[in-house]
Amino acid sequence: MPSGFLDHPRPIAFAHRGGAAHEPENSWRAFEHAVSLGYGYLETDLQATSDGVLLAFHDRTLDRVTSRTGRISRMSYREVSGALIAGTEPIPLLEDLLAAWPDVRFNIDLKDSPAVRPLAEVLRRTAAWDRVCVVSFSASRLRAARRAFGRQVCMAASLIGTAVVRFGGPRDPRGPHRTGPHRGPLAAQATLAPPERGPYAALAERLARTGVRCAQVPESVATESFVGRAHALGLQVHVWTVNDTAAMTGLLDIGADGIMTDETVALRDLLIRRGQWHPRPH
């Protein structure tokens, strides 16, 4: 078992970029708002400056959301530090976020290769191995991260891994999981059943050895069939970025294990109505 990141009642509610519908994306105000609502999982992105400082920031350049321009990996932290998100908010450092809420878990999208080695160093300094899930579209970037870490850390499947689940993984022989009137995912205390022996057992074991514990996919990919295939491989399914309440409901009904949203208030309220809200303890 690579980490305790997913050791939490499902469904998991992720505040996407801190909850960008309410405060500027990836800003301290966004993360603070999500934590105040009871969110125990924050989704963010990672970029590194030329001197190896890790920023919770989505784009490779400052241009779209800050008061400055330039490619982050080619700038020193001193050059970047004056940039303000939405003209008002400083860019948070990953290490500061990890320190601010020691009980909160972070889903980290590794956006660029220069961030790999600094991330390994931050996780060693903070001993936050079990509090993070590392994600990337790039399989090579995830391989580089595994080498740099030197130990297992929770990871999501790359684009290639997701395609294998989508088109080549097994169907769940038990069918979609339903509980109660909402036809939601497995009971909060349940764990995904181990994949059955068969032609895909080797794939499931290989995913487990590399730390891949989940598939994080857009709503268009998260069909009932995909969820069944992922579960049969022992993987959770987390869906991004879902801001419509009806869409959230449909995904929960077919067994999605987690939802990432900008609309953190709407997702919290929906889960409360369904009896599936599991807030972080204050």
Catalytic residue among 16, 33, 231, 238: 16
Phi, psi of 254 (to 5 degrees): -95, 5
The percentage of residues in the chain with a pLDDT greater than 90, rounded to a whole number, is 79
Q: What is the pLDDT of residue 171?
A: 60
Strand partners, 89: 85
- How confident is the model at residue 210, as a pLDDT? 87
Tokens of 158: 């790359």
Q: How far apart are CA 70 and CA 114, in angstroms?
A: 16
* Residues comprising the chain, all counted: 282
Higher per-residue pLDDT: 247 or 3: 247
Q: What is the DSSP letter of 222?
A: -
Query: Quick check: is 177 catalytic?
Result: no
- pLDDT score of 199: 57
User: What confidence tens digit (pLDDT) does each residue in 190-245 have?
Assistant: 345 455 555 567 778 888 888 999 999 999 999 999 999 999 999 999 999 999 99
For residue 136, count other CB atoms closer than 10 A to its CB: 24
Tokens of 117: 């080695």
Q: Compute the chain's Rg from CA coordinates.
A: 18
Give first-to-last CA distance, the chain, whole Å. 27
Contact (Cβ atoms closer than 8 angstroms) between residue 105 and residue 280: no
Kindly report the CATH number that applies to the domain delimited by 12-274. Answer: 3.20.20.190
Nearest to 177 by CA among 3, 41, 10, 4: 10
Going from N- to C-terminal start, the domains of the chain cover 12-274
d(CA 116, CA 243) in angstroms, rounded, equals 30
Residue 247: pLDDT above 60?
yes
Of the listed ranges 22-26, 30-34, 70-74, 158-162, the least confidently predicted one is 158-162
CA pair distance 265, 15, nearest whole angstrom = 10
Q: Quote the pTM value.
A: 0.89
What tens digit of pLDDT does each residue of 154-195 get?
999 999 999 989 987 666 544 444 433 334 433 333 345 455
Active site residue 58: yes
- pLDDT given for residue 56 in this prediction: 98
Q: Does the pLDDT at position 50 exceed 90? A: yes
- What single string gives the DSSP state of each residue in 242-254? ---HHHHHHHHHT
pLDDT value at residue 1: 42
C-alpha distance from residue 211 to each of 4, 59, 175, 230, 280 (Å): 11, 26, 25, 15, 25
For residue 282, the model assigns a pLDDT of 66
How far apart CA 13 and CA 251 sit, in angstroms, is 13
SS3 276: coil
> Active site residue: 8, 22, 33, 58, which one?
58
Which stretch of DSSP H or E encloses residue 32?
A: helix 28-37
Measure the CA–CA gap between 243 and 256, rounded to whole angstroms: 15
Where do we find the tokens 């080695």? Answer: 117
Average pLDDT, the chain: 90
